[in-house]
Amino acid sequence: MAVPIILSVALIAGIISIVLAIIFRSLVLKEDPGNERMQEVAGYIEEGAKTYLKVQYKVLGIFVGVLFLVMLFLLPNMTNPGTLNWEQALAYLIGCVGSMLAGWLGMYVGVKANTRAAQGCTKGTKAGFDVAFFGGAVMGLAVVGVALIGVSIIYWIFESPLVVLGFSFGASSIALFMKCGGGIFTKTADVGADLVGKAEYNLPEDDPRNPATIADNVGDNVGDIAGMGSDLFDSYVASIVAAMMLAAAFGVIGTIKAPFANVTLTAAGTSVFIVTPVVYCGVGLIASLIGIYVIKKKGSEEPGKALNTGTYLATLIYFAFSALITIALSIGLGSEEVGLLWRIWGTSAIGLGSGIVLGFTSDYFTREDKKPTKNIAHAAKEGHAVVILSGFSYGLLSVAPPAIGVILAMTISFWLAGVFGVAMAAVGMLAIVGTIVTNDAYGPIVDNARAIAEQGELGDEVIRTADKLDSAGNTAKAITKGFAIGAANLTVMALMFSFAEEAGITVIDLLSVNVLIGAFIGVVIPAFFSALLILAVQRNAAKMVDEIRRQFEENPKILTGEEPADFHKTIDIATKGSLRELIIPSILSITVPIGVGIIFGVASLGAFLAGAILSGFVFAVFMSNAGGAWDNAKKWIEDGNLGGKGTEVHKASITGDTVGDPFKDTAGPSINTLLVVMSLTASIFMGLLLMFNDGAGLLGNLLTIF
């Protein structure tokens, strides 16, 4: 099957993206890094982040090597039966390297941009914003550029979505390590710093006397930049692959079925539909580049407004450009296929529109000037327990609006183009991911900049300027998490449909015992996975608390500022603890779906994925929004409301924030990656699972009989 030349649109866009990322990196490094103290603090952060990634990549090297050998020698080759599975194994390796490269590049620039953004704040809001935004843009452009180049070249060479599936699996397995490990690291430090520094010693935010402040700043980079970048890289590639595989499967069948109309596919039409998701994402990248340019040129004195304007503009540009590319894709197709192509364009537009709605729903439930967060802050007047009850309740309430958004997007997309339409809605939701990741990476950069401004003694006015940038960054991160959750759920639903097509599953019958067992296990896994991560934070935070107390008690001169705290020890605790704790959750994400498929069969595995998707959505939204609301309720009180810092109300809000930290930055976002990894594992190991009683599993027939 010939690859349509229009695929070059995505490849060229990816190359341009990488070139611009390199240029932006140079622009950031040319800026003034500030005074000697600022450079010293930034050096600690950079050293800690690099050390963490270096150790993590060594662990990943072993994991990747073992899985590469498993895929090469144990999995049947679905594209060339009877030969080693080298194509998919090689693509997996490339996906792993691509994900690590994108994460490292973004993190590297992030730790260079923080002190330069702080120094920019001495000149004003615009100068500080420009440095931080360009630093974030490096991450955004690297993620999308590497993804599009990888997908385009692999498909061009092998002409098989199954091989591209290996690339996606590599990206996902790395993302799980990066997101879980980074989340455990950052919250180990953050919780420890708050519990001792704020609650026990009344130290300000980012006070240099607190031994955990540098570790907390390191965590922002490895968790929120490298981790979230890998997470969205993973969802982005998986959404493309899910749609490509469905198009290829329907090409074999010869028909795409949808309530609106069934369409008979020609060979030319199948070729076009397979590359359509990649081409649409290439167009989305171009829209993101324009959006990034506009954000830079737009009045940076209002950073929040500039970030939102860029997102809206990129969305509108995508609608227009994707319509133009749809005309180009239509050339040579029959009238039925052209009509389907336009309906697919509609589903991608619906997906992106619902992503915007999901993002700003998260913003409403977490922003400090909105009713939910203020109510949680007022609940702190009644004590620690009540602030927990309030945040917990608003977190649960926040699940309903995004659920309605996903349901509407699925309903309309399915009506227009069947399950392929649902897959393309996921592609549309992530089409402008370059802008989304840029905005997200901007957040931890300005968070670090605020800390460096305080520790570099730049004065109250500069700190207030940095606070303004940081406030916009918090909003951007909330919107990004809404996007990530919605996109991950649509993506894994598309992957589930693709898995069902490949396995020949037409109906998942919950009245069948083995199927019901699979669904039950799937519902439990996100809860179990979240518990492992939160307990990991608890165990490591306890060690961090003990270390901070030890330093204060053994060396009182730290509190008087006469001698510096030992930052290296706290960074070491966070690094070793996070890497040790992430191994079991990462292994479970791959072994559990394989085990369900082997024991209970592929139909049970399909139900397992459905159960995990539905419960995972609830847990991800609840924990992300509850955690964000607790965090901003505390910040609202620290701004002088309800008595301000040092009051009993403030201490109660710190308790809420401490509970919310692993919710919003560790367990909640990691569920997105968990769902994608499990879905891709099901598809990757399909050939192996079909060897057990033709896919019925070891116990599947027995349970069916009885």
Q: Give the pLDDT confidence of 301-320 residue by residue, as tens digits.
A: 677 777 777 888 888 999 99
- What percentage of the chain carries pLDDT values higher than 90? 33
**Arithmetic mean of pLDDT over the chain:** 86
Please state, in angstroms and rounded to a whole number, the distance separating the CA atoms of residues 149 and 331: 24
Q: What is the pLDDT of residue 217?
A: 79
Checking if the pLDDT of 342 tops 90, the result is yes
Please state, in angstroms and rounded to a whole number, the distance separating the CA atoms of residues 277 and 7: 10
Checking if the pLDDT of 481 tops 80, the result is no
pLDDT, mean of residues 535-542: 90
Contact 314, 137 (CB under 8 A): no
More confident site: 51 or 425: 425
Q: What is the pLDDT of residue 474?
A: 67
The token duo for 265 is 């596919």
Checking if the pLDDT of 705 tops 60, the result is no
Nearest to 641, CA basis, from 449, 302, 373, 305: 373
Q: What is the pLDDT of residue 94?
A: 93
Q: What is the pLDDT of residue 132?
A: 87
Q: What is the pLDDT of residue 531?
A: 94
CA 526 vs. chain centroid, Å, equals: 16
Strands (E), 166-229: none
Q: Which of 67-81, 405-419, 445-459 has the highest mean pLDDT?
A: 405-419
Beta carbons within 8 Å of 36's beta carbon, 6+ residues apart: none
Checking if the pLDDT of 229 tops 80, the result is no
More confident site: 522 or 224: 522
In the structure, what pLDDT confidence band is assigned to residue 358 with cuts at 50, 70 and 90?
A: confident
Please state, in angstroms and rounded to a whole number, the distance separating the CA atoms of residues 19 and 22: 5
In the structure, what pLDDT confidence band is assigned to residue 604 with cuts at 50, 70 and 90?
A: very high
More confident site: 235 or 481: 235
Checking if the pLDDT of 300 tops 70, the result is no
The token duo for 480 is 């990004």
Q: What is the pLDDT of residue 258?
A: 85
Q: What is the pLDDT of residue 102?
A: 77
In the structure, what pLDDT confidence band is assigned to residue 600 with cuts at 50, 70 and 90?
A: very high
**Could you tell me what percentage of the chain is helix, strand and coil, using 3-state DSSP and rounding each to the nearest 5?**
85, 0, 15
Q: What is the pLDDT of residue 454?
A: 82
Q: What is the pLDDT of residue 185?
A: 85
Q: What is the pLDDT of residue 422?
A: 92
In the structure, what pLDDT confidence band is assigned to residue 46 with cuts at 50, 70 and 90?
A: confident
pLDDT, mean of residues 577-590: 85
Checking if the pLDDT of 16 tops 90, the result is yes
Nearest to 179, CA basis, from 138, 215, 140, 230: 230
Q: What is the pLDDT of residue 396?
A: 94
In the structure, what pLDDT confidence band is assigned to residue 299 with cuts at 50, 70 and 90?
A: low
Check residue 32 and report its DSSP letter: -
Q: What is the pLDDT of residue 228?
A: 72
Q: Which of 305-309, 447-451, 481-485, 633-637 has the highest mean pLDDT?
A: 633-637
In the structure, what pLDDT confidence band is assigned to residue 285 with cuts at 50, 70 and 90?
A: very high
Q: What is the pLDDT of residue 293?
A: 81
The stretches of 367-459 forming alpha helices (DSSP H) are 371-379, 384-397, 400-429, 433-455
Please state, in angstroms and rounded to a whole number, the distance separating the CA atoms of residues 608 and 44: 44
The stretches of 210-266 forming alpha helices (DSSP H) are 213-219, 228-253
